[in-house]
Structure 1
């Protein structure tokens, strides 16, 4: 099934240029000129990924992303477009539940690559993963992309799920943020705070059931057995 992408931006030129690039990659594209139209599309059509402008007329991209995640919808991946370049603004977008962000002005080709990266989802081919992965109180159904902690469903974004799967399949190994950016995000370079925020969100959502440790000065490690040392969020 062809992936379907929503582009919501009040700039006609941005919508048209990005649409052409994504359609050239074989994706189905829907467009919206403001938040209200985007909300209608999200409510009536199957959308796999939404590219949302943070500064468009309300509800803006950040509000839409928060609304999706608050309602427990993690089936729609979100990339935020923002003209705000400050780190706090970028982190706010990630903490709202976005899978990625891009700061304006941007290259349409780069956005197309980011869209492909997010849609790729799992860092390993599904066939290479067992149908279920269990560790401690965690149970992950890999094909359905669902997670349970002590029997309780845990809603994860696509990127958070990718990160969890990577840690579960590579326990007892330290990975730097640079490593994770390349191995999970498939980026050769990028903002390392992206990794930091996703690790923080994964810890928060899994609560006492996570085994993520910060190895100061080196990176992160997922304990593969029942040894539970002190862990600290960066």
Structure 2
């Protein structure tokens, strides 16, 4: 509802002293006024499909070589980034059983760990039948992402390529612009993304709060996403 390409439900409370806003009713906005669509996973990360991620946090920048027409959301992500590079496009170098599972899920058009054969489940979890649907989740280009967590621990994989989702791709699903660079170890960077409040959601709330005080943003979010 605020431009974040993700289904993410969170409980939020806004409070303000009565004398500060008079008779205005304090409410969260239901939808970003003027946004006529919900962005999908494809809107967010499709342009990175042909940019092979690195596996080393020391190699934190790659040449951004995209030949696809950018979606409005991708243009927003690339704004203010005139370096010609993509940062934090780093993922886990999957080997062995993990790689076999990624390939198998892709081949059968599966969705997650439950799409695997019993042989590939390999007693990884004490009770495979009770494994959460978000484990080995394969994203769907045509839908918003589910709630982004530490996608490395949950072994999320790319909607088209049989590889782990990168830090930058997860950050895009959280609505971070490409010029926001994450630091730390690989797992720390994945965790930072998963723990974050989506910036576009935070901005939507902030713009609503400005309105309660009779003010307005200098650069409304809807103008950037149009």
User: Counting helix residues as a fraction of each chain, which structure ranks higher?
Assistant: 1
TM-score, scaled relative to structure 2: 0.26
- Give the structure, 1 or 2, with the largest relative contact order (CA under 8 Å, sep 6 or more): 2
TM-score, scaled relative to structure 1: 0.25
User: Counting strand residues as a fraction of each chain, which structure ranks higher?
Assistant: 1
